[in-house]
Amino acid sequence: MPRYYLHIRDGERTIPDEEGYDLPDLDAAKAEAVEGARTVLSEKLKIGELLDGQRIDIMDEAGSLLATVWFRDVFRVG
């Protein structure tokens, strides 16, 4: 099973995913990233932090960027 790394990016700051996730495919990695983004967003909302520009970059074991999940795209307002 492939290993995917979900690095959180917030402007110039990066929170690296050191362990990664063994997931069946890129779609599963995207679903994991969406869930992670929603969790981080809920915490940021609780403390009133800015919710702009954050993303999760999905990388493979070789360090290649496979996809990006923008935080602003994982929630709905209204």
| Digit-coded pLDDT (tens) for 22-61 | 999 999 999 999 999 999 888 888 888 776 778 999 999 9
With bands split at pLDDT 50, 70 and 90, how would you rate the model's confidence at 14? very high
Domain that holds residue 43: 3-73
> Would you say residue 78 lies in a domain?
no
**What's the sign of the alpha-carbon dihedral 13, 42, 53, 51?**
negative
Domain count, the chain: 1
> Would you say residue 57 lies in a domain?
yes
> Would you say residue 10 lies in a domain?
yes
What whole-number distance in Å separates Cα of residue 39 and Cα of residue 74? Answer: 10
With bands split at pLDDT 50, 70 and 90, how would you rate the model's confidence at 15? very high
Given a cut of 80, whether residue 70 has pLDDT beyond it is: yes
